[in-house]
Amino acid sequence: MASHRLLLGSGVLCSSGEKGEVRSPASRGLTDRRKRSDRSVVTNENGEMAQREWNLEVFATDTGIEPFSAFANELEDFEWAALDAALRAVLAVRGLDLVRTEWLKSLGQGLHEFRIRHDADEIANMFEGGPRSERGPRHVILLRVFVHFHGDRVILLLSGYDKGDDPSERRQQREIADARRHLTAWRQQEARRAAEERKRRR
């Protein structure tokens, strides 16, 4: 299985075959998740209502290959930082609400494209109120991550690519086709797990 280079806050991305959560520091104060009828809404440490963040998990094939991890591990440091910031501060926080913005596009049949066009500093400034650093020209960021939303606020990270390396329509369609195959494989895995669970309950 590919090594995880990507860390979010204090958590590590888990594979789709494992149980776990990826949380950013902002989620540490959320409490009483299981006591509320609407599990998408929680109470923070100040007693205020807040949206619960989404869990992120990485798709793994039956042979243990993680296409998303392979993509992330090949990125330059500035690209990796942008990816990490975007997943932590944008996707995990806003989830499906992003579909009405430049960040997320529905491709149909449960597949979405998460679009990253900003570097880590810009993302921190836009979503976390972080200071804008004074430095020279910024790197061009043009990353794409293919995701699937499911279950109780879970986002499955299927695969991704650097569109800046090859912005052609042919490459885009090939990457989308690959992501659809990964999603189909994941659904088959889930069906097998459900069948095995039913057998155990008999």
Distance CA 29, CA 104 (A): 27
The burial of 35, by beta-carbon neighbours within 10 Å (0-12 exposed, 13-18 middle, 19 or more buried), is given as exposed
Quote the tokens at residue 122. 């810009």
Contact 8, 23 (CB under 8 A): yes
Of 6, 50, 59, nearest to 27 by C-alpha is 50
Distance CA 176, CA 180 (A): 6
- Read off the pLDDT band of 14 (50, 70, 90): low
Q: How far is CA 16 from each of CA 27, 92, 102, rounded to the nearest angstrom?
A: 21, 16, 27
What is the pTM assigned to this prediction?
0.78
- What's the pLDDT tens digit per position in 70-120? 999 999 999 999 999 999 999 999 999 999 899 999 999 999 999 999 999
pLDDT at 49 over 80: no
- Write phi, then psi, for 9 (nearest 5 degrees): 55, -120
- What's the pLDDT tens digit per position in 156-165? 999 999 999 9
More confident residue, 133 or 49: 133
More confident residue, 54 or 13: 54
Of 147, 41, 172, nearest to 86 by C-alpha is 147
Average pLDDT of the residues of the chain? 80
Q: How wide is the angle at C-alpha 178 spanned by C-alphas 116 and 114, nearest 5°?
A: 20
Query: Which sequence spans correspond to the domains of the chain?
Result: 7-201
